[in-house]
Amino acid sequence: MTRAMFADCGVIFFRDQQISEAQHIAFAQRWAPININRFFAAHPAYPEIARVSKEGDQTSNIGGEWHTDHAYDLEPAMGSILVARELPPQGGNTLFASMSVAYEALSEALKTKLCDLKAVHSAQHVFSARGTYDVDNEAGDQRIGNAVAAEQLPEVIHPVVITHPLSGRRALYVNPTFTIRFEGMTAEESQPLLHELYAHSIRPEFVHEFVWRPGSIAFWDNRATWHFARNDYQGYRREMHRITLAGEPLRGARPV
């Protein structure tokens, strides 16, 4: 597998892999430095690995809204490598949407308008003490933490249409979890266009639903895709190990 393949596909799936945590880390390091997630519970022995888990007695899952990882960072994560460790008997699929295909399907007039816009991203409303994860989660849930760090996160601005750093292809770079508004507009003013883009981006022809099996791994590009973890396996445990790879500042679709 090459960087060109990764850039071309946006997400790559592997089946029937029996890899240890150390091999997961070694594979990740071949691609980029590891960007340790500040909000998810870390693996007790391997801090580079974030545990994305849901116990049988928990009702909320992690990642159950469309998003792309670390969009709230100045240099958003290049990619994420998710390894299935324990799966429910059925359900718990992950959906991936292509943001370059979604962009390309827009009208020329809307593409032109979007190329001139930037958007503000944040994780405060998600990971802070008053954030959505805290509100939804059961008391004593240790899966998400570091609310103080979330409160201190500055808002960051990225182009709404990026030029992908590897492929050079254009992609939409706003998402329903971390994008809070367009630069120069209020959140309220931004909502109609953001919602139009969100509804457009998850049209079935842009989405692939991945069915996990023991030994499955998904490696996705956070600059080219969104993902969404289905929460349809109540009463069963699901545990995934995620490593997030460092990225770089994003360039817009217009020369600066």
Query: If binding means CB under 6 A, how many residues of this protein chain bind ligand SIN?
Result: 11
CA torsion through residues 14, 2, 105, 66, sign: positive
Give the DSSP H/E element, type plus range, for residue 42.
none
* Interaction mask 190-229, ligand SIN, x per CB under 6 A: -------------------------------------x-x
Q: What is d(CA 218, CA 174) in angstroms, rounded to the nearest whole number?
A: 22
Q: Could you say which DSSP state residue 40 is in?
A: B
- Coil, helix or strand for 184? coil
Q: How far is the CB of 117 from ligand SIN (least distance, A)?
A: 26
Residue number, 175 or 190, with CB nearest to ligand SIN = 175
Does 52 bind ligand SIN (CB under 6 A)? Our answer is yes
Supply the minimum distance, in Å, between the C-beta of residue 110 and ligand SIN: 28
The CA distance from 3 to 126, in Å, is 32
Which residue number places its CB atom closest to ligand SIN?
A: 63
Q: Is 6 or 133 the residue whose CB approaches ligand SIN more closely?
A: 133
By CB under 6 A, is residue 240 in contact with ligand SIN? yes
Tokens 């939409």 sit at which residue? 172
Count of CB atoms within 10 A of residue 58's CB? 18
Dist CA 109 CA 102 (whole Å): 15
Best CA proximity match to 140, nearest among 231, 58, 50: 58
- Of residues 63, 76, 79, 131, which one binds ligand SIN by CB under 6 A? 63
> How far apart are the C-alpha atoms of 67 and 179, rounded to whole Å?
9
Please list every residue from 66 through 125 that binds ligand SIN, using CB under 6 A.
69, 80, 82, 94
Nearest approach in angstroms of CB 88 to ligand SIN is 12
Query: Which CB, 116 or 138, lies closer to ligand SIN?
Result: 138
Q: In the numeric block, which tokens belong to residue 122?
A: 């944040």
Among 73, 242, 250, 252, binds ligand SIN (CB under 6 A): 242
Q: Which long-range contacts (CB under 8 A, 24 or more apart) does 188-196 make?
A: 190/119
Supply the minimum distance, in Å, between the C-beta of residue 210 and ligand SIN. 8
Positions annotated as catalytic residues are 67, 69, 227, 242
Residues that bind ligand SIN (CB under 6 A): 52, 62-63, 69, 80, 82, 94, 227, 229, 240, 242
